[in-house]
Amino acid sequence: MTNDPPFLAVTMGDGAGVGPEVTVGALLAEETALACRPIVVGDAERLRRALRVRGERAEVAAVESVGDAVFAPGRINVVDLGLLPPDLPWGEVSPVAGDAAYHYVRVATELAVSGAVQGICTAPLNKEALRAGGHAFPGHTELLAHLTGTEEVSMMLSTPTVKVIHVTTHIGLIDAVARIEPGLVERTVRRGDDALRRSGVARPRIGVCAINPHAGENGLFGYGEEAAKITPAIERLHDAGIDARGPLPADTAFFLAGRGDYDLIVAMYHDQGHGPVKVLGIEAGVNITVGLPVIRTSVDHGTAFDIAGTGRAGVGSMIEALRQAAELSPSPPRK
């Protein structure tokens, strides 16, 4: 007997961006229906408007709880928080939309922590709108850590070609270099190693990037950051039986990962990891928060205000985020 597909809470993101459009588009895809049982946390009327924008037809059914959801072709179940005005414009920063996006994530997290759903998949929110709405979080990663009471989490970007986990993310480059230290590097690698083992990789091969060009070139570049901040962590990881190698020049590390030498690359700061992944194509990328007590995946693109409301947003990344959330999530308990 096959396991039942997991229930997933799907947050529709910032209502002024492409989140509602990619949400409805992905939920109507046949592969999504086969992989999981999704329940949107969002605004039912905004989803209906997104369907009209995309030129698609479906029933958007408001439900009170996961238990009330009915899964059938052409039906989208939504826990309707009703926080958006009907005339909310597309493509503009809105404190109302930012506040609503926060509450979508809050409710989805409550559903996951309670066990009503087995995972969370998030459409993009807008950081400026989130802050304008009264919620000072740099992004989903930090917000979910706060909501679950998790002290430290990591961002992992997953593509068919390469997976990347970040030691630091949404801080300035100077602050990132100051924050990097052996304990943080070690904990990040351990979270990545654990995530890959749980996904079926028996002994992950992990490449750890340097901070400076050419890994510092034996002290020629930088001020000895590799020796002080990264090498001690790799030595401790080796002692623990984890196959972590480095510090590696970042340009070489990503080339080697692309040809299959590494299962995971550890990036030291945001753009070091995001740049190569986005060159591969945003449609292929999925953002996974590692270290939470719940499964969470997301698209690896933003709210795209410039095309919001036009029906031009691609749904491939959202479909892949739902697929990976379903793959990582346990089966629901049988009643």
CA separation, residue 329 to residues 109, 120, 293 (Å):
14, 9, 11
pLDDT tens, position by position, 52-76? 999 999 999 999 999 999 999 999 9
**Residue 266: CATH number of its domain:** 3.40.718.10
Query: Looking at the DSSP assignment, which residues form a beta bridge with residue 42?
Result: 80
- Residue 282 has a pLDDT of 55
**CA–CA dist 189, 232 (Å, integer):** 13
Structural domains of the chain, count:
2
On whether both 66 and 148 belong to a single domain, the answer is yes
For residue 24, what is the enclosing H or E element? helix 19-27
Query: Considering only CA atoms, which of 165, 159, 123, 167 is closest in space to residue 302?
Result: 123
Considering the entire predicted model, what is its pTM? 0.84
Determine, yes or no, domain membership for 110: yes
Contacts for 104 with CB less than 8 Å, ≥ 6 apart: 11, 12, 13, 41, 42, 81
- Residue 1 has a pLDDT of 33
On whether both 210 and 164 belong to a single domain, the answer is yes
- Residue 284 has a pLDDT of 62
Instruction: Kindly state the DSSP code that residue 227 receives in the 8-state scheme.
Output: I
On whether both 105 and 167 belong to a single domain, the answer is no
Determine, yes or no, domain membership for 186: yes
On whether both 27 and 141 belong to a single domain, the answer is yes
Determine, yes or no, domain membership for 240: yes
CA separation, residue 13 to residues 67, 75, 122, 205, 317 (Å):
23, 20, 7, 34, 14
On whether both 148 and 1 belong to a single domain, the answer is yes
- Residue 335 has a pLDDT of 62
Determine, yes or no, domain membership for 287: no
On whether both 24 and 141 belong to a single domain, the answer is yes
On whether both 133 and 52 belong to a single domain, the answer is yes
On whether both 244 and 300 belong to a single domain, the answer is no
Query: Looking at the DSSP assignment, which residues form a beta bridge with residue 248?
Result: 209
- Residue 40 has a pLDDT of 98
Q: What are 227's two structure tokens?
A: 């020796």
On whether both 23 and 148 belong to a single domain, the answer is yes
Say whether 222 sits in a helix, a strand or coil.
coil
**CA–CA dist 153, 143 (Å, integer):** 11
Determine, yes or no, domain membership for 285: no
Q: Which residues of the chain have pLDDT under 50?
A: 1
On whether both 177 and 117 belong to a single domain, the answer is no
- Residue 119 has a pLDDT of 94
CB atoms within 10 A of CB 283: 16
On whether both 86 and 148 belong to a single domain, the answer is yes
**CA–CA dist 161, 280 (Å, integer):** 8
- Residue 96 has a pLDDT of 98
- Residue 232 has a pLDDT of 98
Q: SS3 breakdown of the chain: % helix, strand, coil, rounded to 5?
A: 45, 20, 40
Determine, yes or no, domain membership for 193: yes
On whether both 181 and 323 belong to a single domain, the answer is no
Determine, yes or no, domain membership for 286: no
Structural domain including 201 reads: 160-280
pLDDT tens, position by position, 75-106? 999 999 999 999 999 999 999 999 999 999 99
Determine, yes or no, domain membership for 72: yes
Query: Looking at the DSSP assignment, which residues form a beta bridge with residue 40?
Result: 10, 78
CB contact at 8 A, 24 and 39? no
